[in-house]
């Protein structure tokens, strides 16, 4: 081997030769190379091996990362399928926590959901703890509260030295919390709860644990929201069936007590007339007059029933004309009825609301008036509607015998009557607040205040 270029050429190609044919390389080394060339070859070979090792390490790390990601994705997919195959919220929470605890190899875990209204986190299910169902975390407190507020996961290596950790939690469970990983359950537009895993069996929680729990949290929240929606629809359907049954029971009772009795009396009067026609026709005129009154009363009662079943005037003209007609129809059944309407609109009228809300307000007045006629022995009834600052207030006041409100609340389970319960539920539908004020001998006032009026 001679000349620098030749040597360079050889050195540049030595590795290729070494890879392709070892014998040729060895033959060349022993026959042709001088000491200098051998040293240069050794240096280049060492550099090349070091580079290859480093490449190998990088590839190995990339492979491990890709494998962890693929496993994570497979897990998230599996859990997503499992959760969306049921519409039972409890079942979803149990499946979720069991699988996550297994996968992340932890001793303890829990799922809490945000309570509507209070915003408190309420325990739903847990692993590795005694039953925690009644336990709740006040709004915004503890690490879990922070997760709800920020919508981001939290990882803590030593909960005992973290002031955000809710210490009462450990007192309550009798377990010492060390490592913590929380992820939000983020639904369509807000955080609906938190999943937490604690005390990893080996080592600390890692970045990939955090990514995994966070991804699972998203799937789980959607599955939980779907199940809750399904539950709401089911309850609404049951409620509609219940209302239909109530309406038909009431209709049956009203038809039995009202028009049916009148028609039966008419039948008896007709029999009487037949006999009188043969024996003493002078009795006929008086009997026919009273028959006419009976028929008139029966017609009025049936029309009122039809009106109450579907008050067409309510849909066509709104609340005030419908209430006027309702009160007019009950005139002569005991008390005197008065309607007072106030409004801060220049037109002095009450704004038209959605069909559902108008129908509900009408039904509250209807129910209250039925109660007054049935129980109150009142002389006067005042129905007030007042619109102010985009809010509507409704009152139904009577000067009758009154009743003990607290007594009534305590006895609902055993009463089998629904009137006041219906009023409560209906008030909720209007978005207003119900108060019932009554005292024995001092009349009754039913108010639904602050019913929102949407701006036009």
Ligand X SMILES: Nc1ncnc2c1ncn2[C@@H]1O[C@H](COP(=O)(O)OP(=O)(O)OP(=O)(O)O)[C@@H](O)[C@H]1O
Choose between 112 and 326: whose C-beta lies nearer to Mg ion. Answer: 326
Choose between 123 and 403: whose C-beta lies nearer to ligand X. Answer: 403
CB of 420 to Mg ion, least distance (A): 7
Residue 418 sits in the site that holds Mg ion (CB under 5 A): no
Among 72, 258, 419, 431, indicate the residue that binds Mg ion (CB under 5 A).
Answer: 419
Choose between 18 and 339: whose C-beta lies nearer to ligand X. Answer: 339
Stretch that binds Mg ion, among 9-17, 93-101, 367-375, 386-394 (CB under 5 A): 367-375
Choose between 146 and 445: whose C-beta lies nearer to ligand X. Answer: 445
Q: Which does 408 bind (CB under 5 to 8 A by kind): ligand X, Mg ion, none?
A: ligand X
Q: Which does 136 bind (CB under 5 to 8 A by kind): ligand X, Mg ion, none?
A: none
Q: Which does 101 bind (CB under 5 to 8 A by kind): ligand X, Mg ion, none?
A: none
Choose between 169 and 362: whose C-beta lies nearer to ligand X. Answer: 362
* Alpha carbon separation from 350 to 241, 247, 446 (Å, rounded): 32, 29, 20
CB of 240 to ligand X, least distance (A): 18
CB of 175 to ligand X, least distance (A): 48
Q: Which does 444 bind (CB under 5 to 8 A by kind): Mg ion, ligand X, none?
A: ligand X
Q: Which does 400 bind (CB under 5 to 8 A by kind): Mg ion, ligand X, none?
A: ligand X
CB of 187 to ligand X, least distance (A): 37
Choose between 92 and 420: whose C-beta lies nearer to ligand X. Answer: 420
Among 371, 387, 395, 430, indicate the residue that binds Mg ion (CB under 5 A).
Answer: 371
Choose between 107 and 375: whose C-beta lies nearer to ligand X. Answer: 375
Choose between 221 and 376: whose C-beta lies nearer to ligand X. Answer: 376
CB of 305 to Mg ion, least distance (A): 16
Residues that bind ligand X (CB under 6 A): 371-372, 374-376, 398, 400-403, 408, 417-420, 444
Whose tokens are 């207003």? That residue is 432
Q: Which residue is nearest to ligand X (CB)?
A: 419
3-state secondary structure the chain: CCCHHHHHHHHHHHHHHHHHCHHHHHHHHHHHCCHHHHHHHHHHHHHHHHHHHHHHHHHHHHHHHHHHHHHHHHHHHHHHHHHHCCCCHHHHHHHHHHHHHHHHCEEEEEEEEECCCCCCEEEEEEECCCCCCCCEECCCCHHHHHHHHHCCCEEECCHHHCCCCCHHHHHHHCCCCCCEEEEEEECCCCEEEEEEEEEECCCCCCHHHHHHHHHHHHHHHHHHHHHHHHHHHHHHHHHHHHHHHHHHHHHHHHHHHCHHHHHHHHHHHHHHHHHHHHHCHHHHHHHHHHHHHHHHHHHHHHHHHHHHHCCHHHHHHCHHHHHHHHHHHHCCCCCEEEEEEEECCCCCCCCCCCHHHHHHHHHHHHHHHHHHHHHHCCCEEEEEEEEECCEEEEEEEECCCCCCHHHHHHCHHHHCCCHHHHHHHHHHHHCCEEEEEECCCCCEEEEEEEEECCCC
Residue 438 sits in the site that holds Mg ion (CB under 5 A): no
Residue 366 sits in the site that holds Mg ion (CB under 5 A): no
Residue 124 sits in the site that holds Mg ion (CB under 5 A): no
CB of 252 to ligand X, least distance (A): 12
Name the residues that contact Mg ion, by CB under 5 A. 371, 419
């Amino acid at each position: 081997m001679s000349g620098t270029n030749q040597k360079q050429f050889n050195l540049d190609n030595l590795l290729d030769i070494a890879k392709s044919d070892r014998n040729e390389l060895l033959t060349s080394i022993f026959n042709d190379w001088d000491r200098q060339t051998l040293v240069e070859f050794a240096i280049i070979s060492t550099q090349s091996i070091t580079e290859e090792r480093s490449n190998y390490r990088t590839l190995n790390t990339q492979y491990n990362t890709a494998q962890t990601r693929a496993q994570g994705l497979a897990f998230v997919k599996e859990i997503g399928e499992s959760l969306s195959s049921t519409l039972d919220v409890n079942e979803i929470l149990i499946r979720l926590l069991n699988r996550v605890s297994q996968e992340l190899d932890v001793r303890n875990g829990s799922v809490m959901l945000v309570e509507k209204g209070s915003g408190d986190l309420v325990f739903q299910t847990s692993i590795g703890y005694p039953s925690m169902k009644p336990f709740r975390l006040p709004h915004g407190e503890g690490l879990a509260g922070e997760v709800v507020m920020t919508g981001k996961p939290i990882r803590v290596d030593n909960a005992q030295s973290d002031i955000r950790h809710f210490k009462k939690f450990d007192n309550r469970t009798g377990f010492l919390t060390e490592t913590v990983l929380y992820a939000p359950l983020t639904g369509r537009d807000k955080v609906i709860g938190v999943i937490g895993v604690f005390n990893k069996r080996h080592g600390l929680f890692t970045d990939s644990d955090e990514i995994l729990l966070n991804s699972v949290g998203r799937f789980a929240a959607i599955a939980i929201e779907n199940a809750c929606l399904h539950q709401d629809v089911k309850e609404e359907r049951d409620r509609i069936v219940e209302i239909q049954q109530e309406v038909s029971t009431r209709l049956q009772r009203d038809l039995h007590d009202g028009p049916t009795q009148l028609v039966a009396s008419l039948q008896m009067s007709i029999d009487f007339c037949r006999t009188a026609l043969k024996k003493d026709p002078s009795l006929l005129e008086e009997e026919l007059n009273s028959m006419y009154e009976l028929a008139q009363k029966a017609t009025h009662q049936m029309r009122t029933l039809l009106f109450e079943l579907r008050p067409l005037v309510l849909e066509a003209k709104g609340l005030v004309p419908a209430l006027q007609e309702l009160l007019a129809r009950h005139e002569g059944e005991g008390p005197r009825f008065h309607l007072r309407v106030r409004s801060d609109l220049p037109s002095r009228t009450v704004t038209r609301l959605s069909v559902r809300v108008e129908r509900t307000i009408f039904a509250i007045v209807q129910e209250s008036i039925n109660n007054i006629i049935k129980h109150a022995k009142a002389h006067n009834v005042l129905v007030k509607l007042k619109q102010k600052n985009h809010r509507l207030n409704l009152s139904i006041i009577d000067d009758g015998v009154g009743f003990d409100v607290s007594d009534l609340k305590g006895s609902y389970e055993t009463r089998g009557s629904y009137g006041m319960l219906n009023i409560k539920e209906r008030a909720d539908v209007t978005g207003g607040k119900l108060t019932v004020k009554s005292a024995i001998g001092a009349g009754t006032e039913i108010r639904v205040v602050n019913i929102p009026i949407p701006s036009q």
